[in-house]
Structures are given as C-alpha cells and as structure tokens.
C-alpha cells in the first residue's frame, strides 16, 4: 500500500481531521505533508487529534446522559393522537379530491314561480 492509501486510512480512523479542513484551519495538502514526514507519530498529530478526542468525549457524555424513559414521560400522547387524526383527515380529503368523489351531496333546487315575489 502506498503512502496515499495509508493516509486515506489514517483520515478514516481520525474523522476529526475533516473538521479542521471544513473550518479552514488546515488543508488536506498540509495534513498529507505532515503524514508523509512524520507518519502516524502521536507527537506530530497531538494538536489536531486532541481536540477531536475532547469533542468525542463530550459527545459520548451527552449521549449517555440522554434518558429514554425521561423522554417518553414528557411526551403528550393526546397531542400526538390529535395530530395523527388531523393528518388522516387531510389525507382522506386529498384522496377524495384526487379520485373525483365529493362528500357534498347537492339537493335538487326548485325554481321559483314567476308570479311569486318576495314570499307573497
């Protein structure tokens, strides 16, 4: 495997490097030059990988503090049921409109007699 492929594998193992590039702090060329000179030496990468380790630890802590039961307790089931019912009504209306059916039945109209004016 050549150096380029090894560098790609190194980047896949350390996705925090992508964050540095997206923020504009570094370029892939500079990262590749560091990798070409120092390889995977921890001292050369400590400035770039420690920030990621801290962020990863914070993400892990946030994920572990997420309480599924607490989330479920805070759900308002009546509100969810009302939302589902309204969505069903809207979908039913759209379905009726697309099929050409109409729920409104027209009553036959009788014409007014010609000799009758204003309810005489």
Task: Give me the residue spans of the domains in the chain.
Answer: 3-66, 69-97
Find the range with the poorest average confidence among 12-16, 23-27, 51-55, 110-114.
51-55
pLDDT over 60 (residue 4): yes
pLDDT over 90 (residue 89): yes
Q: How far apart are CA 64 and CA 102, in angstroms?
A: 53
Highest mean pLDDT among 41-55, 63-77, 81-95: 81-95
Distances (CA, A) of 118 to 54, 87, 112, 114: 85, 46, 10, 11
- Where residue 90 falls among pLDDT bands split at 50, 70, 90? very high
Contacts of 45 (CB under 8 A, 6+ apart): 14, 34, 38
pTM: 0.42
- Where residue 87 falls among pLDDT bands split at 50, 70, 90? very high
């Amino acid at each position: 495997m050549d150096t380029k492929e090894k560098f790609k594998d190194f980047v896949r193992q350390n996705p925090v490097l992508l964050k540095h590039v997206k923020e504009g702090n570094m370029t892939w060329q500079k990262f590749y030059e560091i990798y070409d000179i120092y390889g995977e030496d921890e001292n050369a990468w400590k400035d770039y990988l420690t920030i990621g380790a801290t962020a990863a630890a914070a993400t892990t802590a946030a994920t572990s503090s997420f309480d599924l039961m607490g989330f479920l307790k805070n759900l308002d089931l009546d509100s969810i049921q009302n939302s589902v019912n309204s969505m069903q009504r809207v979908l039913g209306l759209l379905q009726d409109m697309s099929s050409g059916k109409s729920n409104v039945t027209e009553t036959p109209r009788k014409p007014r007699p010609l000799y009758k004016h204003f309810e005489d």
